[in-house]
Amino acid sequence: MRILGIETSCDETAAAIVERNKDGRPEIIGQNVLSQFEDHQEFGGVVPEIAARAHLTALDHLIIKTIKDAQIKLSDLDAVAATTGPGLVGGLIVGMMTAKAIAATNNIPFLAINHLEGHALTARLTHNIEFPYLLLLVSGGHTQILCVNGLGKYHRLATTIDDALGEAFDKTAKLLGLPQPGGPNVELAAKNGDPKRFRFPRPLQGKDTLNMSFSGLKTSVRQQAEKLAPLSKQDVADICACFQIAVSAVLVNRCKRAMQEFSKSNPVSSQTLVAAGGVAANQHIRTALKDLCQGEDWNFVAPPLALCSDNAAMIAWAGLERAERGESSPMNIAPRSRWPLDEISESVIGSGRKGAKA
């Protein structure tokens, strides 16, 4: 089975083809990602209309190139999957309508994929792990801990009550005068910093909750930067290192408690923590979580760096998993700017629901 995946939820245009070969192993046979970084750089953030226009200009060429790279024909596809939410509606429409057109003209199924489900299932593509597992989902707009009990079976244990971690990294970078994307540049600066110079807070630590908060940490970073202004290069590096230490401490604390909760309801012999999403590419965070898992006798899995950020291979894989169950999506399905993985759990800020309250 071969699935074309399309990802256009934010500022990266991506296409990929994933197949399950004769011996049952999944394989990415074609993959391309086109960044819009330069298109948005002067605005200090992603401009939705510019993003949608860039997707519209690039997507068809990117799909053609991906098919050529995979050395197949369009008629060799068994289905086409596209991110249908959450994300910027203009971009979602471009990818979704392109996928629907390909599906209709080739008489193959169309699959509407939740972008977060793509992240949640990537470890099954790269490491062939079994359900259930514990997931730390840390992307630009989402920070959650979930039990992944099966395909489409997601139970949220925790979320952020304010800023997502990716947003905290981006805002910290902007505050310190670092270029975007914020996460990689904060991590780069932190390599030359003194992680003991400042003691930033660990929000909600010690509270009877698994939820997370990062707005207070961000405020503390701003206050420290204002005290030191004008900032030297070493000041910036030290702040980044201490910020990264605080973030890792929060994640380790929350994941350790979530692992205990997971073990109670899932007494399986082999227990796994998966870190997914763009922030999961941070090497310091990966190391801290890996050390935690080693100490708790858990397995730790994080996808390759290229599959942590937005990509179409994860969308193709999620589509393949659903196609193998005989699923398809109606052609009249609409894009969703918000689409939580767990639509049952009570809403809090950061859960991906409109009008959420803490």
Kindly indicate the confidence band of residue 351, based on its pLDDT and cuts at 50, 70 and 90.
very low
SS3 6: strand
Kindly indicate the confidence band of residue 344, based on its pLDDT and cuts at 50, 70 and 90.
confident
Kindly indicate the confidence band of residue 349, based on its pLDDT and cuts at 50, 70 and 90.
low
Fold of 131-304: Nucleotidyltransferase; domain 5 (3.30.420)
Q: What is the mean pLDDT of the chain?
A: 93
Least confident span in 5-9, 203-207, 243-247, 347-351: 347-351
In sign, the C-alpha dihedral spanning 221, 222, 224, 228 is positive
CA distance 262 to 296: 13
Give the tens place of pLDDT for each residue, 98-108.
Answer: 999 999 999 99
Bridge partner residues of 33 (DSSP)? 14
Bridge partner residues of 12 (DSSP)? 35
By CB neighbour count within 10 A (0-12 exposed, 13-18 middle, 19+ buried), where does 237 fall? buried
Q: Which CATH class is domain 2-121+307-323?
A: alpha beta
Show me where the domains of the chain are located: 2-121+307-323, 131-304
**Contact yes or no for 213/160 (Cβ under 8 A):** yes
Q: What pLDDT sits at residue 21?
A: 87
Token couple for 265:
């309801």
CA distance 289 to 119: 18
pTM of the prediction? 0.93
Kindly indicate the confidence band of residue 68, based on its pLDDT and cuts at 50, 70 and 90.
very high
**Contact yes or no for 9/83 (Cβ under 8 A):** yes
The domains spanning 2-121+307-323 and 131-304 adopt the same CATH topology: yes
